[in-house]
Amino acid sequence: MLYGKEHVARYQETDGEEGHEWRGTVTLLLTTTGRHTRKERTTPLIYQLDGDAHIVVASDGGADDDPLWYKNIQADPEVKVQVKGDKFTARARTATQDEKPALWAKMTAVWPDYDVYQTKTSRDIPVVILERV
């Protein structure tokens, strides 16, 4: 089962033929710019579509702190996204309180563990909208 750096490498090498489908759901690759290092960092994330936007969740398995990729998009919301062989630039933003319930339901429908992760932490796990630019 692909995970972490191996997941990213195989996904990139095969244009998602390996890695897009993962544990019964689908993943994309999100590349952010490090807020301190300015180096690019790529993370595989479960996603769903909402219209033309790609939706991801900054859960980090229910950790008490936001994942690094989320901190990076707060500093610089311009990101690169790869979905299978489709590579594009996007602008990342956190879903508003009005948008979040429907998007959360969409994401937990494909990865129910997000609800479990929320019970592990006092932080409100963000839902992120990636809009192609």
**Cα dihedral 37, 42, 46, 47 sign:** positive
Tens digits of residue pLDDT in 65-122: 999 999 999 999 999 999 999 999 999 999 999 999 999 999 999 999 999 999 999 9
Compute the 3-state secondary structure of the chain and give helix, strand, coil in percent, each to the nearest 5.
30, 35, 35
- What global pTM score does this model have? 0.97
Of 120, 118, 104, 133, which Cα lies nearest the Cα of 46? 104
Strand pairing category for 25-33 and 40-46: antiparallel
Full residue range of the structural domain in which residue 68 is found: 4-132
The CATH number linked to 116 is 2.30.110.10
Q: Number of folded domains in the chain?
A: 1
Tens digits of residue pLDDT in 11-38: 999 999 999 999 999 999 999 999 999 9
**Cα–Cα dist 110/117, whole Å:** 14
**Cα–Cα dist 49/81, whole Å:** 13
Scanning 15-79, the segments in alpha helix (DSSP H) are 68-75
Which residues 6+ apart lie within 8 Å of 92 measured at CB? 32, 73, 77, 78, 79, 128, 129, 130, 131
Give the number of residues written for the chain.
Answer: 133
